């Protein structure tokens, strides 16, 4: 089984002090002495190689003490600096190995079946990722398109998305909700937000009340202003349906290509969040946990609207200064609304906030940025949307965001301008002029 990444919280917290046998203490003392007295050519031997897995914080701090760094003969300040950096890194790696050895997951071992609702690019990428972790596990994809189902089952290729990627053979596709959901341990929801309620209502009779739902969808329901943590239980008729949201800076194609990616799972149930973390974590996918469901969801929804604004700036060739100013202002607006709604500011500075905003606003793979870019270049929204094979959630989310801003009495000039442009009530050029003419105020 793949080694599990440790959480960000643990990464910057010292490990628990463990009692060490006399031999280990002797090794530490000798190691410290050798670092303090030896020549610059002396090599530092990681205690892991001698069987030591969990370093004692006190001993390790002594390794980094000024006496062990500054009193060595030869090498000068640069040699001392290099030695300090090497010790700090090896300490981190050694502790990481110890943490993984003591936190082996049984979740993957016990999981027999996972279902993915939706066969878009991200649903397909997530299905492939989960399936690749355990060949004995069945990963069932519930789709609407018979041709795509046939392609996946016969050739192990999603002919509509990722035609050049072979899917794991333990992925099966079906259009039958009953078959897909039968016996599932976890359910990944990858249906676009605006279609989620009707879709879930249609399959609710086959959903186990205790089946955990992991939402991959980012956005707000336009008519109700609900987030997915509200949409899913409501549509299934079960307010206690276990729920987790998975978010963060992640393009489907890079996940499919096993490029290094980091995401966050958020749930009010910490044990469930930890279970999903263990299910998904791999050498190329790092998963952090959070209890701030609202913060993760709001950030994931609002960043799509901001990405449209960033695309408009790019399409109008307004320059890098304008881009930086606009995205910074948009980040502030997201923070103002999210914290007013009860989200934590720290969440907005993390993977699901700043991380996802940077990816979506600055990279051309973003569908929402692409919509904005084409709007800024003068194309009509109807023509843009009709030419796209996938949904750009920011288009429908923009109106919902402004409704929330009015509800919570938050001024959001950039995101409001996007909503007006989408409604064809304001041109991109006029919007920029109006935004630049706003009163000069103190930054908050």
Q: Which SS3 state, helix, strand or coil, does residue 263 take?
A: strand
Q: Fold match between 107-291 and 295-436?
A: no
Tens-digit pLDDT profile for residues 52-78: 344 444 444 444 444 444 444 456 788
Tens digit of each residue's pLDDT (9 = 90 or more) over 190-203: 999 999 999 999 99
State the Cα–Cα distance between residues 357 and 311, nearest whole angstrom: 12
285-290 sheet: strands from edge to edge = 171-174, 138-142, 113-117, 186-189, 213-215, 243-247, 261-266, 285-290
The answer to whether the CB of 220 falls within 8 A of the CB of 301 is yes
CATH level 3 topology of 295-436? 1.10.1040
Q: Can you list the alpha helix ranges (DSSP code H) found in 341-392?
A: 345-348, 356-362, 367-376, 381-386
| β-strand partners of 116 | 141, 188
Architecture of domain 107-291: 3-Layer(aba) Sandwich (3.40)
Instruction: Tell me the per-residue pLDDT of 327-371, one tens digit each, with 9 for 90 and over.
Output: 999 999 999 999 999 999 999 999 999 999 999 999 999 999 999
**CB count, 10 Å around CB of 400?**
24
Question: Is the pLDDT confidence value at 249 over 80?
Answer: yes
| 303 tagged catalytic | yes
**Hey, where are the domains in the chain?**
8-102, 107-291, 295-436
Catalytic: which of 270, 271, 303, 340? 303
Whether 35 and 42 have beta carbons less than 8 Å apart is answered as: yes
């Amino acid at each position: 089984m793949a080694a599990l990444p440790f959480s960000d919280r643990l990464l910057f917290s010292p490990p628990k002090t463990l009692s060490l046998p006399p031999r280990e203490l002797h090794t530490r003392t000798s190691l410290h002495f050798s670092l303090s007295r030896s020549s610059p050519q002396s090599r530092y031997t990681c205690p892991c190689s001698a069987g030591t897995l969990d370093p004692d914080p006190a001993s390790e701090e002594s390794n980094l003490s000024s006496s062990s760094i500054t009193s060595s003969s030869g090498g000068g300040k640069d040699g001392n600096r290099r030695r300090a950096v090497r010790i700090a890194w090896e300490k981190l790696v050694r502790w990481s190995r110890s943490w993984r050895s003591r936190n082996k997951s049984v979740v993957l071992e016990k999981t027999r079946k996972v279902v993915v609702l939706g066969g878009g690019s991200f649903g397909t990428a997530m299905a492939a990722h989960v399936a690749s972790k355990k060949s004995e596990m069945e990963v069932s994809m519930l789709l609407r398109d018979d041709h795509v189902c046939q392609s996946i089952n016969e050739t192990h290729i999603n002919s509509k998305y990722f035609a050049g990627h072979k899917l794991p053979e333990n992925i099966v596709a079906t259009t039958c909700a009953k078959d897909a959901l039968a016996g599932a341990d976890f359910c990944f929801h990858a249906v676009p937000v605006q279609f989620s309620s009707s879709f879930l209502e249609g399959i609710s009779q086959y959903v186990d009340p205790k089946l955990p739902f992991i939402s991959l969808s980012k956005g707000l329901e336009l008519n109700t202003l609900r987030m997915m943590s509200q949409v899913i239980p409501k549509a299934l008729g079960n307010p206690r349906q276990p729920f987790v949201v998975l978010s963060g800076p992640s393009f489907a194609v890079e996940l499919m290509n096993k490029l290094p990616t980091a995401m966050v799972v958020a749930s009010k149930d910490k044990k469930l969040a930890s279970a999903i973390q263990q299910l998904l974590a791999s050498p190329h996918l790092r998963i952090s946990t959070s209890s701030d469901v609202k913060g993760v969801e709001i950030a994931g929804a609002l960043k799509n609207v901001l990405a449209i604004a960033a695309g408009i700036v790019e399409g109008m060739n307004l320059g890098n200064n304008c881009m930086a100013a606009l995205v910074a202002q948009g980040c502030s607006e997201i923070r103002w609304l999210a914290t007013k709604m009860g989200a934590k500011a720290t969440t907005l500075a993390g993977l699901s906030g700043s991380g996802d905003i940077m990816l979506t606003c600055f990279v051309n793979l973003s569908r929402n940025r692409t919509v904005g870019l084409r709007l800024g270049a003068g194309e009509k929204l109807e023509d843009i949307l009709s030419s796209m094979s996938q949904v750009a959630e920011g288009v429908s989310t923009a109106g919902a965001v402004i409704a929330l801003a009015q509800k919570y009495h938050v001024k959001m000039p950039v995101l409001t301008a996007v909503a007006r442009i989408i409604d064809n009530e304001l041109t991109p050029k006029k919007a920029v002029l109006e935004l630049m003419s706003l009163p000069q105020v103190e930054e908050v």
